[in-house]
Each structure stands twice: as structure tokens, then as C-alpha cells.
Structure 1
Amino acid sequence: MSRVVLLVAAAFAAVAGCARGEVELATVLPLGPLPGGASAIEVSDDGSSVVLVMDRGTFVTGRLERQGDRLTGFIEESRRSFVGPDGEELPQNERDSEGLAIAADGTMYVSFEGTDRITEVGETLRDVLAPPDLPDAFDNEGYEALAIDAEGRLVTLPERNGDGTDDWTLLRLEDGAWGAAFTVPRRGSFVPVGADFGPDGNFYLLERDFTGFAFRSRVRRFGPDGSGETTLLRTAAGTHGNLEGIAVWRGRDGDLRLTMVSDDNELALLRSEIVEYRLAG
């Protein structure tokens, strides 16, 4: 497969002088055509490799190129379709892959909307115990955010909850059953689309809001028990594309990185890009 480096076409923000607790834009890296919009991302501990899940039943692995602490390019290394237990590619109505979590031993888990299921990825997909059923009306607003906590437990929450005014319940898979971990308060019109536990043990939630003409994004941080809610980032409409996936890791300088990916919905008007912020520790 051709391995093409996509160079940054957007200006870098300076990363020096970021005060403790502040979030600062480090890189915006445009991506070339990919098989369906990117809906989830995981980055290796050293920030050098990446897995992208596309919302058409495929995933892409690659390498991230950097100059110092700045992201400068993406090199695609492999591209693969998810395969069902029968050894065949998933049927069209089961390909809406949305969330991604990778365990410490490398096991990969993916959540799907529409069919509202969570799977373990091997040569074929293996269903994990399904989280609670969602109403049919939530067909395209299901379990989009997926993460693994420091104890190795899967957690998830849907994009929509209740009648649009309820708080979200973060669900955790433990001892063979899904139960409530903690409640995520609803703040305004933002909805959850991506999640990760950082190397600091905290829970990071990526949310989006569509204003009718552009997307806004927000990142909130919670303690592992749901305490200490902090809004780290809230962008103006149109600052970035439709950010749907987030990975949190620690750079060589000791500061955290919030690396996010946008879903272009296979539309020319939307952007496909990796966006990276630095969170000074």
C-alpha cells in the first residue's frame, strides 16, 4: 500500500510558555481521503503510532511523524475491514463503527451504533456483553464513546440520553455486568462523542454541538470517580471540523496531549484532520 506523508498545511500554535493547567493548540494536521469518516482514535504511549476507526466498518493504522513535540505528518501503514463471526465483512447496516478502546495488552474494542453493541477485535469480531438497550429513536445516537479505565474495565455512554435534558450515566463493565460508574452532568447543548482515560487516571470526555452551520467542541475532565469536573477546552463554531475521537497521552516534556480526530462524513464541505492540544501539567 502506498505510504504517503501528509504534511501540515495549517499554521502551528507556539507551545512554549503554556502555564500549568492551560490547554494550548499545538497542531492541526489535515488528512487525505480515508475509507469513511474517522470517528475514533487511539495513540501509543510515545505518540508515534495511531489507530483510526472509520464509521464505515474499517480501521486504519499508521505512524505519526513529529518534529520535536509538533505533529508533522501521518503515514498510513495498514487498512482493514471489520469481519463478522462468520468470516465475512459486515453487512451494510452493521458497519457504523464509532468508539475505540485499546487495553494494556493490545486487545482492541470497538462500539457500534445502530446495532448498539461492543465488540472485541481479533481476526473476526466477538461481541462483548451488550450494554443496556437504547430506544429505537436513538438509532444514530447510540454508544459512541468508549474507553478503558486504569483497572482495565470498559466504560461507555451514549450520544443521546433520555428526552434531551437528562444527565448521562457512564456505564462500566465489571464482573460480567454493566453498571453505573458515575453521572456526567449535562451542560448546555453539547453531547458526548469520544472518551479516554489519561495516564493521570482521569476521565476525559469529548463533546460536540452542531450550531446549524458548523461544529463546536468541548473537552471536560473528571476524576476516575466522576468528581472534580473541569472544562479544559471549548471552541467556537467552525474552529475545527466534526471532532469525534480523543486520545490522551503524555509527551516527553511531561505535559499531556489531547489528540483528536474529525469525521468529514465523506462530505467535501467538512474537514478530515487530526487536532492536537497540549495540556501543561
Structure 2
Amino acid sequence: MPGHRHRTLRPLAAALIALAACTAPVAGAPVVEHVGTHVWTSDMEDPDFGGFSGIEISADGASFHAISDRAWIYWGSIQRDNAGRIRGLSLAGRAHLKDSRGSELPPGRLGDSEGLAIADDGTIWITFEGLDRLAAYDTPDSPARRIPRPPVLAELQVNSGMEALAIAGDGTLLAVPERSGQQTRPYPVLRYDPEAQVWDVPFQIERQGRWLPTGADFGPDGMLYLLERDFRGVLGFQSRVRRFDISDATTDTILTGEELLSTSPLQYDNLEGISVWDDGLGLRITMISDDNFLFVQRTELVEYRVRE
């Protein structure tokens, strides 16, 4: 009997070793860890607070700009504890975004601001859905500067235009639409060169199942980080982040990217905006949720750290 027991245990031990090998971290794979989650509430009576769809964090993690999908932009400072976790946000100002004539944009088709990127010279770039377009602002209170619309927008679905926006180190802007038209069709990445004032499609991003882009940013490593969402009905929202090395991408390239994190349904609210910065220990990913101005949802700032 003892010999029989040993013969029985050997296959079990081998199976456990194989399982451990399958679940062990891959050598060289990034380590992704949750840093903290903060629920942001307004200290004043502000019916337009909420609906945040884009965020930019300063290089030192101490200040922010955020836009809502009702054409408002907010900015201020971030208080953090000794571990770098957010403990509060102090609002320094807010402004109602304007059209090119200086009139305040109404919510809805004209004022559905979605993507946010801020250039080194302080120019604020914002994409809008509904009337799909890209606009530039010299200051939060300035009239919009008109930008030529990319021809490819005519091929996209209604209200599924340039959802995610990121600015590269050379000042060019990349916009990713919320939908591609078919689940098997990759997303065309739209690039705008402010100097030449021309659009092109430098590469495409593979569409995977039900995941839809909501935000994008370039990290200090030069990689493109894409925040995606899956709405699961009564199970709430699920989010994930992929990153892409676009250094060798060409017009015909379809990038799959590397999945860094994927959340569980109901783990967080409706994460839509993303900003990537260096916190001194690794790359910090800051995400903000759109509460859709519903009392059952909340505005969350969720942060992860990526260490190579």
C-alpha cells in the first residue's frame, strides 16, 4: 500500500508543479499594482459637476485638468499622503468651453466633450462627439480654434467618433474612435499634425470582443496607453488598459498591444479618462470615472502603478 500511495501522489505532484509554472509571473513581465481609489465630490452647489470623460495629471502628480461631457473643464491641485495615495482634490477653477465664436457650448450634440490632451506649450486639445471634431483652446476661457475634420469620420457610426485623445512627444495628436463599425474591424487611429494641419491614419488597433475605447495617453516611456470599457448591464462596468509600442507602426499595421490590467465587473465605476506619469517608483496610471450625472454612480479616481 505505501508504494501504491507514492505512485498515486507522483502524478498529482507533477500536475501541481505544472500548474505553478503556468500561474507564475512571466520573467520580464511588468508588475501592476493598485495604489488607491478616491471618490471625488464637489464642495459647492454645482449641477454641472460630474460626467468626467478626460483627465490630465501633471508630471509631478500634484495637479490636474479634467473635462466633463457637458463641455466643462475643471482644474486644481491634488493632495496625497506619504505613500502617494490621493487624499483630496482642491478646485482652483472651472470654465465652460466655448465654440469658435466665443459662445458657451450647450450640452448634447455640440458640447459632448470626450477626449483631453494638453501640449507642452499649454494648448488644450479636446475632442467632441455628436458633432465629431477636434478643437484647440489657448486657455480654458478662450474661444475654440477650428481644426479641419478628418475625412475618415464620415465612415464612423453616429455618436461613436473620436472618444480617446493623446498627444505624442512631437506634438502630434492621436484620436481613437469609440467604435469601428464592426466587431471584426480594427480601430483606425487618426493622427493630426498641428504644424502641417493635416490628418492621416498611421496605424490601426485590433478590436477585441466587446471592449470599446474610452481614453488614451502617451506615457513617459513613449508607449500609447489605451483605456477600454465593457458595459455588463446589471453587473456594471468592466475596464482594462492596453499599451502599444507604435515606433515601427505603418499605415497597414494592426496593433494588438499588451494588456496591463483588467478589472472585474462592479470593481470600479465607469472609467473613461486616463493619464500616465512617472511617480518615481514606476509609471502611475490615473483613471477617472464618468458618473453620467446619476446618483447611483460616483466620480472615482483610480490609480495603478506599473513597474518593469
Match of 1:279 in 2: 306
Q: CA–CA distance in 2 between the matches of 1:161 and 1:224?
A: 19
Matched position secondary structure for 2:233: coil
Contact 1:204–1:219, Cα closer than 8 Å, also in 2 = yes
Match of 1:27 in 2: 36
Q: CA–CA distance in 1 between the matches of 2:41 and 2:53?
A: 15
- Match among 203, 216, 222 for residue 182 of structure 1: 203
Q: CA–CA distance in 1 between the matches of 2:61 and 2:151?
A: 34
Matched position secondary structure for 1:42: strand
Which amino acid is 2:162 matched to?
A: Y
TM-score, length basis structure 2: 0.81
Match of 2:277 in 1: 249
Q: CA–CA distance in 1 between the matches of 2:208 and 2:74?
A: 33
Provide the alpha-carbon RMSD of the alignment. 1.8
Are positions 1:78 and 2:96 aligned together?
no
Matched position secondary structure for 1:144: strand
Q: Deviations over 1:103-126 (max 9, x none)?
A: 111111000000100000131111
Q: CA–CA distance in 1 between the matches of 2:208 and 2:106?
A: 37
Contact 1:116–1:133, Cα closer than 8 Å, also in 2 = no
- The structure where helix makes up a greater share of residues is 2
> Structure 2 matches for 1:1-281, cutoff 5 A?
21-33=30-42, 35-68=49-82, 69-92=84-107, 93-122=109-138, 123-132=142-151, 134=153, 138-174=157-193, 175-213=196-234, 214-225=236-247, 229-253=257-281, 255-281=282-308
Segments of structure 2 that go 5 or more residues without pairing to the other structure are 1-27, 43-47, 250-254
TM-score, length basis structure 1: 0.88
Q: CA–CA distance in 1 between the matches of 2:99 and 2:197?
A: 23
Match of 1:16 in 2: none
Q: Percent identity?
A: 42
Query: What is the Cα deviation at residue 140 of structure 1?
Result: 2.4
Distance 1:136 1:231, change over 3 A: closer
Larger radius of gyration: 2
Contact 1:146–1:196, Cα closer than 8 Å, also in 2 = yes
Provide the aligned length of Structure 1 versus Structure 2.
262
Query: What is the Cα deviation at residue 240 of structure 1?
Result: 0.6
Matched position secondary structure for 1:189: coil
Q: CA–CA distance in 1 between the matches of 2:298 and 2:161?
A: 23
Q: Deviations over 1:19-48 (max 9, x none)?
A: 971111111000114524100000000000
Query: What is the Cα deviation at residue 204 of structure 1?
Result: 0.2
Q: CA–CA distance in 2 between the matches of 1:233 and 1:188?
A: 16
Q: After alignment, is 23-32 or 220-229 more displaced?
A: 220-229
Distance 1:97 1:149, change over 3 A: same
Which amino acid is 1:222 matched to?
A: F
